[in-house]
Structure 1
Amino acid sequence: MADIEVESTCEEGYTVESIINGEWQLVVDALSEEGPSANEVLAADYASCYIPAFRVAADKHGYDDIGEVTVEVAADLDEDDDLEAIDFHIEVEESLGDDAWDIVELGEDICHVHSALREELHAEITIESGV
């Protein structure tokens, strides 16, 4: 059994309903009409992964409670609607002083989505048609 199991179904059009680990439902719409697009979900997922990683990094630098953390994500698409750039603007309630950039970098090392965004990570695909 895999660590993560997702069943995604598209009955028609461009809206995909996914069941994650048999429990969580996610609706993604390529046209952003019935839900967020895949790129929008990826941008939100990246920030949702990075914030806890940032908190762990701050804890490792001796900050027990850094308060509220907000990440504003700005993502640029190219002419093919592929993600071209992602920028984070991070606001932290606690002052991190000279440790801020060390915490940012350690957060990147800890964040699983940051680690996954590399060219060599692509799906291994098999296909059955006419089923």
Structure 2
Amino acid sequence: MMWLPGPAVLLLVTLFVSSAQDKAPVEVRYLTQTITSPSGSSIKLTCNAHYYVELCGLLHVAWYHITKQSAELTDPRRYLTTVNETTISDDNMRRRQVVTEILNLTPEDAGQFQCTAECEKESETVAGHYIWITVIG
């Protein structure tokens, strides 16, 4: 039996462990923040979903108003949503950035908001932390 020097063995074990780790199909990332803005103004909520195409398949990313029965922000008269997607690694990881602008804020827009991402293939949904919005006036 041949023994390798200590550092070489440690390196081989480290490479084996990191290659055996399972990948999460999707994760959601965005800043923790509390937003205070006057009535009539507009604010933007930005969410980044990092996902593996082969594990996730189609991906749906959206912002929700948790205080209002978890309503998805889709009304085109109230919200403007833009989506940008880029490949960020050689192993087919992508970043989908979803920016939803809440137009003409009213007191009814105050409350908790959360971004979620849902994978079609894995039937997995992940949600980020809450963002608080306060409307003045």
After TM superposition, the score normalised by the length of structure 2 is 0.29
Q: TM-score, normalised by structure 1?
A: 0.30
| More strand by percentage | 2
Which structure: larger Rg? 2
